[in-house]
Structure 1
Amino acid sequence: MYKVILNKDASVIKSFNNNILLVKEEGQEKILFQKGIGFGKKLGDIVKKGTVVEKVFIIEDKENQRNFNEILNRVDTKLIAIVEEVIAEISDELGEELNENIHIGLVDHLFYAIKRLENNEEIDNPFLVEIETLYAREFSMASRLAYRIKEELGVEVPEGEKGFITLHIHSARNNGKLSNTIKYSFLSNSIIEHVEDRLNIEIDRRSLDYARFLTHIRFAIERIITNSPIKNDLVDIIRMKYKVSYKIAEETRKIICKTLDIKEISEDEVAYLAMHIERFRVSLEK
């Protein structure tokens, strides 16, 4: 892990534990990570210019600063410390700076989730298998956070909740757009359910064939939303040879257009969807 040297004095807002501080430096709030940096620190103490820390997260957006400070007033410091430590570990492991929204959204989400769990309320996640399949690395990281919560707070985090944590991590890697992440997971699930209905089958959500098919769908959605067209020279052949699958692919096109609020999807993309539906259909007959 590379080190960061503070360029200016920073005033302590809050010490989460011995290793994490929230400070303000010339009006900008920063979360500092360094072993022992929070020991004995209290509101108003100064962290001197030139102090070396392992990692710095900056909360730049004014609304995020207000929301984070509101969270500080109602959320147990121990939970915030656990989440912030894991966020730092995730950022280092990925070699990426995560969107600052995760410091607010994930802590706030877990605060209410833990309350529900302590009240023995069930947490249902209809997209769990899709999330675990598409975002396997983030799901592993979410499981790590769930383990820490169990070890330090004594709260057992169920699989469904790990899926929601995964979405927060994934969205933080993609400019903080959690609503889009959920929308695309919903869309993938809608497509799968439509294929099931049309082929009159029930897909084993834990099968390798399902994982492959879901991945193909997800890549197709990515190409469509990023306007990255793909060329398919076999459109006419696929349309003639795989008539049932092509018809389902055309129906799928309508689902995608409606969900993403777009006017059209190219025949090339429809043909690729048809090809993957056909492969999936054939694999189920074996």
Structure 2
Amino acid sequence: MKIKKILNNNVVITEKGTSEIVVMGRGLAFGKKVGQELLESDVEKVYELTGDGQNRVTELLSGIPDEILEISDDIATLAKNTLTVKINDSLFLTLADHINGVIARLKDDVMIKNFLLWDIKRFFPEEYAIGEKAIAEISLKYAIELNEDEAGFIAMHIVNSELESNNSSIVSELTKLIEEVITIVKYSLQLSLNESDIYYQRFMTHLRFFAERVLLKSSELQEKTGQVDDALYEMIAAKYPEAYQTTQKITGFLMQTRYYDVSADEQMYLTIHLARIIEK
């Protein structure tokens, strides 16, 4: 792979086909010049971007300080090692751009309020925990004090990177959809949901990935599980009528507002989760 641009001794932009990629390695570019070949054995990490970012890497990363690139790599690596879902390589790019903007705003004493913070803490606790570690590292590096709003913003970037879409508004849509479904559950079952309960937490985990599929119009679950057995579906519906009726309200709502047809297997799983909450 040939060097297209050297960001520092450890970070280089090169090309793969028509796309720009970021490669990292200790002393990777030491003594090297643009146009020279890199030894693959010296490459420790590769960030291969997709979508709009694949041809804008040089433009977006040029001028970003080395320490911000290092911090962004630390956070992206932590997310990949901590979370069980796949993290898109775009996270490195968006974090570097975001953190660079944060440092610039702080110099002008400008702080931005994160109006989704409460929902992010509730719906994406693992991503938020990484966000907290990230602001601790940034605060220590720059001798500044970042508040929890910034931890929330970093968590939003992580959630975005988990999705196939790079639409920056996806987290807002995701939290809105989850809140809508939770509201239906509360009013339908007439229950006060205990957020510390294990069955509620399992339901929320399922609901989060279900909401992602709804937004992305994905049939991934159905493709993985196949067509649900009619007899099993009818048995679940009969055994848990209250939970099943709530599932039907969710199904109708999603068809009416999002034109999303909830599969029979997804209805069955939602019903089982709700039944456990009711029994608890």
CA distance in 1, matches of 2:74, 2:192: 41
Cα 1:114–1:157 change in 2 (3 A) is same
Cα 1:92–1:208 change in 2 (3 A) is closer
Identity, in percent, stands at: 21
CA distance in 2, matches of 1:40, 1:279: 62
Structure 2 residue 244 is matched with structure 1 residue 246: yes
Residue 131 of structure 1 is matched in structure 2 by: 124
- Counting matched residue pairs gives 267
- Aligned to 2:231, the other structure's residue is in SS state coil
Q: Give the 5 Å matches for 1:179-218.
A: 182=171, 183-218=173-208
Structure 1 runs not aligned, ≥5 long: 1-7
For residue 93 of structure 1, report the CA deviation from its aligned partner. Answer: 7.2
For residue 205 of structure 1, report the CA deviation from its aligned partner. Answer: 3.0
Q: Give the 5 Å matches for 1:151-190.
A: 151-175=140-164, 177=166, 182=171, 183-190=173-180
For residue 185 of structure 1, report the CA deviation from its aligned partner. Answer: 4.2
Q: Does the Cα contact within 8 Å between 1:131 and 1:163 map onto a contact in 2?
A: no
For residue 130 of structure 1, report the CA deviation from its aligned partner. Answer: 1.0
Q: Does the Cα contact within 8 Å between 2:160 and 2:170 map onto a contact in 1?
A: yes
CA distance in 1, matches of 2:62, 2:113: 27
Structure 2 runs not aligned, ≥5 long: none
Cα 1:155–1:256 change in 2 (3 A) is farther
Q: Does the Cα contact within 8 Å between 1:238 and 1:275 map onto a contact in 2?
A: yes
Structure 2 residue 7 is matched with structure 1 residue 20: no
CA distance in 1, matches of 2:192, 2:31: 59
CA distance in 2, matches of 1:189, 1:210: 14
Cα 1:281–1:94 change in 2 (3 A) is closer
Q: Does the Cα contact within 8 Å between 2:47 and 2:90 map onto a contact in 1?
A: no
TM-score, normalised to structure 1's length?
A: 0.69
Q: Which amino acid aligns with 2:46?
A: F
- Aligned to 2:23, the other structure's residue is in SS state strand
Residue 31 of structure 1 is matched in structure 2 by: 22
Output the aligned Cα RMSD: 4.0
Residue 276 of structure 2 is aligned with which of 271, 275, 279? Answer: 279
Residue 262 of structure 2 is matched in structure 1 by: 265
Residue 255 of structure 1 is matched in structure 2 by: 253
CA distance in 2, matches of 1:27, 1:236: 52
For residue 131 of structure 1, report the CA deviation from its aligned partner. Answer: 1.1
CA distance in 2, matches of 1:244, 1:14: 59
Report which stretch shifted further, 250-259 or 64-73: 64-73
Per-residue displacement from partner, 1:207-260 (whole Å, max 9, x unpaired)? 333202212434655597325144363444444454433322111112333454
Cα 1:129–1:160 change in 2 (3 A) is farther
CA distance in 2, matches of 1:114, 1:199: 47
